[in-house]
């Protein structure tokens, strides 16, 4: 267990059964008063930030998060199936917990699944993934009015803007951190 005096930036603790990370910390002690530990905490599942002040003697359970290498298998409705690379155990993560990550999952993609109390709460993707363009407009040569990029949809249903010279059926590399087009893959 942690106590309030262990609080510091970056510490991960359990509050109301959710894992939180301390993003701001300040120790206060108004004249002759009790020690107060003011914090901002980010919920590691929802991303929401919370302001909380703790007192001397308050105790917390450390939020132990486990990272396990897994492979993405397939999707069934809102359920995404992953397999543990070591134990071959399969787990399901729903679309909501995946957040943006679901846009970049291709079959057999290697990811790191973050677990809190054996419950998957998110995945860490490689920085770049390759996805096939399934829908985009034709590039009209000489049409410079729309200038640069055009809308496109990739196999996961994710929509982004790509350069005019990339056509349907082509494979592109996307930067998962920004969600933007990176390069065209030559096959």
Partner 1 sequence: MRFLDFSRNLKNRSVLKNWSLARRKKALQERANILQAVRYFFFAQGFFEVETPHRIPAPAPESHIDAIPSGPWFLHTSPELCMKRMLAEGYEKIFQICRCWREGERGSQHIPEFTLLEWYHSGMDYLMLMEECATLIQTVASKVGLGEKIIFRDQTIDLASPWERISVREAFHEYADTSMEEALMNGLFDEIMVRDIEPSLGIRKPTFIYDYPAQRGALARLRPEDKTVAERFELYVGGLELANGFSELVDPEEQRRRFERENENRRGMGKSVYAMPEKFLEELREMPPSAGIALGIDRLVMIFLDAPSIDEVVAFTPEEL
Q: DSSP states of the chain as a string?
A: -EEGGG--TT-EEEETTEEEEEEEEEEE--TTS--EEEEEEEETTT--EEEEEEETT-EEEE--EEEEEEEEEEEETTEEEEEETTT--EEEEEHHHHGGGGGG--TT-EEEEEEETTEEEEEE--SEEEEEEEEEPPP-TT--TT-S-EEEEETTS-EEEE-TT--TT-EEEEETTTTEEEEEEP-
34 touches partner 1 by CB under 8 A: yes
Report, in Å, the least distance between residue 16 CB and partner 1.
Answer: 19
Among 1, 16, 17, 31, indicate the residue that binds partner 1 (CB under 8 A): 31
* Chain residues 49-108 in contact with partner 1, contact rule CB under 8 A: 53, 56-57
Among 9, 24, 29, 180, indicate the residue that binds partner 1 (CB under 8 A): 29
Site string for partner 1, 7-26 (x = CB under 8 A): ------------------xx
Among 30, 47, 77, 142, indicate the residue that binds partner 1 (CB under 8 A): 30
The residue ranges that bind partner 1 (CB under 8 A) are 5, 25-36, 38, 53, 56-57
């Amino acid at each position: 267990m942690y106590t309030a005096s262990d609080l510091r930036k970056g510490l991960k603790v359990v509050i109301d059964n959710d894992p939180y990370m301390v993003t701001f910390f300040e120790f206060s002690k108004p004249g002759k008063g009790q020690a107060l530990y003011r914090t901002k905490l980010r919920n590691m599942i929802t991303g929401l930030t919370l302001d909380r002040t703790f007192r001397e003697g308050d105790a917390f359970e450390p939020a132990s998060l486990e990272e396990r290498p897994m492979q993405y298998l397939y999707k069934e409705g809102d359920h995404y199936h992953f397999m543990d690379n070591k134990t071959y155990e399969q787990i399901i993560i729903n679309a909501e917990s995946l957040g943006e990550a679901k846009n970049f999952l291709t079959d057999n993609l290697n990811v790191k699944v973050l677990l809190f109390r054996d419950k998957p709460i998110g995945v860490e993707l490689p920085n770049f993934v390759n996805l096939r363009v399934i829908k985009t407009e034709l590039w009209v040569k000489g049409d410079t009015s729309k200038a640069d990029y055009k809308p496109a949809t990739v196999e996961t249903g994710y929509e982004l803007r790509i350069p005019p010279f990339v056509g349907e059926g082509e494979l592109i590399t996307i930067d998962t951190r920004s969600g933007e087009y990176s390069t065209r893959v030559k096959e």
